Amino acid sequence: MGPRNRFFPSANNFFIEKKEEIKMVKRFFAFVLVSCLIAALPGAVFARADKTTYPVVFAHGMLGFDELVGIDYFGNDYGVFVGDPCDGFLETSCNSEIDKNQQAFAASVNPFQSSELRGLELADAIESYMATVNADCVNIVGHSQGGMDARKAAKLLYDRKGRQVVKVMVSISSPHRGSPVGKGVLDQGPDGMNAFLGVLVDYLVGPVLVGDLSDFEASMKAFVYDDYDPNDGVVTGAKAFNNAYGINDTHVRHYASIITATQGNLNPILGALGLVAPLDIDGDGWCADYTDCNNDGAAGCGDGDFEDGDDDGLVGINSQQMGYRLKHKKSWLWGTYFDEDSTTGYVGDIDRPSQVQATSYSSVIDQDHLDVLGLGVIPYLIPDDFDEEGFYADLIDYIADNEGTSSSGWWWFW
């Protein structure tokens, strides 16, 4: 301790207080400096997302794939898989914002078929992957039809293992209660279906993927809420599928969904589809009897306005919520992250959303149906401004927090 001032004892306290203030300022700036240095490190050293206990399986939508000629369905603007960790020396074609030990798997099923068949194929693919990596459980992220396939896969895995296998299931832009696009395409007959399919094939390298295109009609019928043709001897549609594979806490520990919609500014692929099929969707309405009360192919109805940003180009917001609705939030301290929207509540019966759940614009991601896949302004050539790596890193972090196995990785900060 330095010499004390015998003549002005109050001065001693003054200088001691000032020294403490200086120390605190130094500590603060040291913390800021270290934080900035850590933030600048590659994701393989300091990841934005916690590692999940169980692998994350990505389930693609219609005309989807796992990986094709170096391009991933769940990719960034240049086709790099968002679930690929930077676990190699100086690796750059990876997602630097997830943990270097994160396990993820892009499943592949029939690009054109009902969710009855695709869900079976997804369960088979997951079971095979689990055996390969010696995993007891998985989490599933499903885009579009993949979010429906995931529900059947979860039930089949439960039946096969005799226990819960899927911990967290998140659907993105999924037509859980149908889409007017399916009925609109089917109503045009074979010529309309061929035209719609032709655009998909031309824009999404379909010839390499699909081979036999005869299953396209089955996939369209899967997007209609009611049985499209009661006289064909086959019960189809989202309503029948939901009755068999609804939300069940025995099969899945935690259900959540991400809702997408936008006003205009559609991906060129969706713009081209709109030239050959009706993509005008009035998707922010609700029916008290939980039916397709305006006969457009989706449960619920609209509010009479087709131009109010109530759909993502293929699916209305009234069809997308399953379980909790997720909100992509931004904080000056934590950055971006996913949290549950408390204003819309939990959809526990997939066929019976409340009026708020079917019509609310709360937490809707302002993106079209394909933007969340990294299909930029010109797919794989000219990017858009959507951060796919960060978006899915935040989603993986949310999954890690809801598997029921561990707490958030931020405990050490305090």
Q: What is the pLDDT of residue 69?
A: 42
Instruction: Report whether 319 contacts 298 (CB < 8 A).
Output: yes
Nearest to 381 by CA among 60, 79, 93, 63: 79
Contact predicate 217/190, CB 8 Å = no
For residues 311-336, average pLDDT: 93
Tell me how far apart the alpha carbons of residues 19 and 129 are, in angstroms, rounded to a whole number.
Answer: 60
102: DSSP letter: -
Query: Using CA atoms, how far apart are residues 157 and 171, in angstroms rounded to an integer?
Result: 18
Residue 41 pLDDT greater than 50, yes or no: no
Per-residue model confidence (pLDDT) at position 28: 62
**Which top CATH class is 41-405?**
alpha beta
Mean pLDDT of the region 236-260: 98
- Tokens for 206, please give them: 């379909």
For the chain, the structural domain boundaries read 41-405
CA 249, 251, 254, 257 dihedral sign is negative
pLDDT of residue 281: 86
Per DSSP bridges, beta strands 67-68 and 71-72 are antiparallel
Give the E-state strand segments of 184-247 in sequence order: none
268: burial class by Cβ within 10 Å (0-12, 13-18, 19+)? middle
Tokens standing for residue 91:
């690796």
Cα–Cα distance, 67 to 205 (Å, whole number) = 12
Mean pLDDT for the stretch of residues 238-264: 96
Q: Are strands 323-331 and 335-340 parallel, antiparallel or unpaired?
A: antiparallel
Number of other CB atoms surrounding residue 337 within 10 Å? 18
Angle between helical axes of 268-276 and 189-203 (0-180°, round to 10): 160
Cα separation, 238 vs 322, in Å, equals: 13
409 confidence band (pLDDT: 50, 70, 90)? very low
User: What's the token pair of residue 20?
Assistant: 């403490």
pLDDT digits (tens, 9 = 90+) for 137-188: 999 999 999 999 999 999 999 999 999 999 999 999 999 999 999 999 999 8
What's the length of the chain? 414
* Residue 305 burial (C-beta neighbours within 10 Å; 0-12, 13-18, 19+): exposed
To which residue do tokens 């600048």 refer?
A: 40
Give the angle 317-218-293 at the CA atoms, nearest 5°. Answer: 40
- For the chain, give the mean pLDDT: 83
